């Protein structure tokens, strides 16, 4: 099943993981387990779809197994990781 | 057989001008603080030789993913957990090069921090390669050195001026 994410989705995931907006594209930070994560988000507006290849990389960079795992985190607001 | 000789810091300090001359010729000197419980060693080695080792041993392996809906490209370097994106291959490579330069600067500034992170401690040699480069075109060329499609993208860009 293909998963589609928007810029707003990725920003919300990054914020929930404790990442900070460091500069124009870079977000990074340390989560509650002490792991450091860093990703890059082109902010062209919250509703803009993310390229599939970019979403895959963002998932890896934020410690998710794959897009499905990141999507599950997005829709399950109680999930910690 | 151990061809490498270690010198204490105090001996190395006295002999430092000679050690630097020898290093420039290709001889490596290893120094160590024998009085400290910390047994870490430091090599004094020619920068040319050091960079040659890095250039040969730490080549980038970029992966290109074209968006199925035709909206652009993502280029990633998995060994560094980094990517770039753009509507064209060249713009994605440019974005990746920008991110890589930014990461190299941050990493080398906070190396004590990054060397403690399990999945980032091995990024140093790649980022040290980037650190010596002076402009973004050189960074793009280094990323593309093992990838003919990316080399072609750079060539097309330079021909367009």
ipTM here: 0.94
C-alpha span between B59 and B39 (Å, rounded) = 31
Does the pLDDT value for residue A33 go beyond 80? no
* Residue B64 backbone phi and psi in degrees, to 5: -105, 135
Q: Chain A neighbours among B 69-98 (CB < 8 Å)?
A: 69, 71-74, 76, 78, 81-85, 95
Which of these, B154, B160, B80, lies nearest to B120 by C-alpha position?
A: B80
Q: And the tokens for A32?
A: 């509650």
Half-sphere exposure of A24 (CA within 13 A, CB side): 6
pLDDT at B142: 97
Q: Which of B66, B83, B102 sits opposite A57 (nearest CB)?
A: B83
What mean pLDDT is predicted for residues A34-54? Answer: 94
C-alpha span between B65 and A53 (Å, rounded) = 6
Which element (helix H / strand E) includes B4?
A: none
pLDDT at A77: 92
Q: Does A20 touch chain B (CB under 8 A)?
A: no
C-alpha span between B76 and B26 (Å, rounded) = 36
- Ranges of chain B whose pLDDT falls below 70: 161
C-alpha span between A69 and B35 (Å, rounded) = 51
The alpha-carbon gap from A79 to the nearest alpha carbon of chain B, in Å, equals 23
Q: Which of A25, A49, A61 sits opposite B81 (nearest CB)?
A: A61
Does the pLDDT value for residue A63 go beyond 90? yes
Q: Does A65 touch chain B (CB under 8 A)?
A: no
Q: Are A52 and B65 in contact (CB under 8 A)?
A: yes
Give, as one character, the DSSP assignment of residue B145.
G
Contact criterion met (CB < 8 Å) for A57 and B72: no
Contact criterion met (CB < 8 Å) for A53 and B102: no
Can you spell out the DSSP letters for B24-93? HHT--EEEE-TTSS---EEEE--HHHHHHHHHHH-----EEEE-TTSS-EEEEEGGGTEEEEESSHHHHH
Which of these, B140, B145, B132, B120, lies nearest to B59 by C-alpha position?
A: B145
Which of B91, B102, B105, B112 to mutate to probe the A interface, most A CBs <10 Å?
Answer: B102
Residue located via tokens 């985190």: A73
Task: State the pTM of this model.
Answer: 0.93
Does the pLDDT value for residue A1 go beyond 70? no
Which of these, A19, A24, A23, lies nearest to A62 by C-alpha position?
A: A19
């Amino acid at each position: 099943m293909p998963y589609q994410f928007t810029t707003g989705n990725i920003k919300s995931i990054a914020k929930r993981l404790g990442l900070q907006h460091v500069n124009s594209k870079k977000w990074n930070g340390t989560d509650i387990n002490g792991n450091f994560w860093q990703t890059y988000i082109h902010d062209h507006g919250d509703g803009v779809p993310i390229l599939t290849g970019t979403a895959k990389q963002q998932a890896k960079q934020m410690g998710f197994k794959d897009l499905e795992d990141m999507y599950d985190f997005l829709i399950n607001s109680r999930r910690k990781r | 057989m151990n061809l490498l000789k270690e010198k204490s810091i105090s001996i190395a300090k006295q002999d430092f001008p000679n050690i630097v001359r020898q290093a420039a010729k290709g001889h490596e000197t290893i120094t160590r603080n024998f009085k400290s419980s910390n047994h870490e060693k430091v090599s004094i080695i020619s920068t040319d030789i050091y960079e040659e080792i890095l250039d040969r041993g730490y080549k980038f392996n970029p992966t290109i993913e074209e968006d199925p809906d035709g909206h652009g490209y993502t280029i990633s370097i998995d060994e560094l957990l980094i990517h770039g994106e753009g509507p064209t291959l060249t713009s994605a490579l440019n974005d990746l090069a920008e991110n890589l330069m930014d990461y190299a600067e941050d990493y080398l500034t906070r190396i004590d921090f990054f060397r403690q992170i399990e999945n980032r401690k091995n990024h140093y040699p790649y980022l040290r390669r980037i650190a010596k480069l002076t402009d973004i075109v050189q960074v793009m060329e280094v990323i593309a050195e093992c990838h003919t499609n990316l080399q072609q993208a750079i060539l097309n860009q330079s021909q367009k001026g």
